[in-house]
Amino acid sequence: MSIEDRLDATAKNIEGKVQEAVGEVTGDQSEKAEGQAKQAQASTEHAVENAKDKLKEAIDKA
């Protein structure tokens, strides 16, 4: 697992949260939806990294 990949996903998640909040405050539903989409993508990226870690652990134990 790459720490850089995790950091990128975390940054994307934070960016999405801010974008969603701005959309909520301004009433811009498009902005809000884009923020939510970024958060979902970041969540998926974290899940992929977790799966890579588990696979690596399993291989190392074998």
How far is the C-alpha of 49 from the C-alpha of 60, rounded, in Å?
16
Question: What is the per-residue pLDDT for 1?
Answer: 53
Q: pLDDT tens, 16-47?
A: 999 999 999 999 999 999 999 999 999 999 99
Give, as one character, the DSSP assignment of residue 27. Answer: T
CA angle, 10 then 13 then 15, to 5°: 110
Q: Tell me the pLDDT band of 2, cut-offs 50, 70 and 90.
A: confident
> pTM for the whole thing?
0.86
pLDDT at 34: 98
- Residue holding tokens 């902005």? 31
CA 23 – CA 8 distance, rounded (Å)? 22
**Distance in angstroms (rounded) separating the CA atoms of residues 21 and 18:** 5
Per-residue pLDDT at 6:
92
The whole-angstrom separation of Cα 52 and Cα 33 is 29
Confidence (pLDDT) at 26: 97
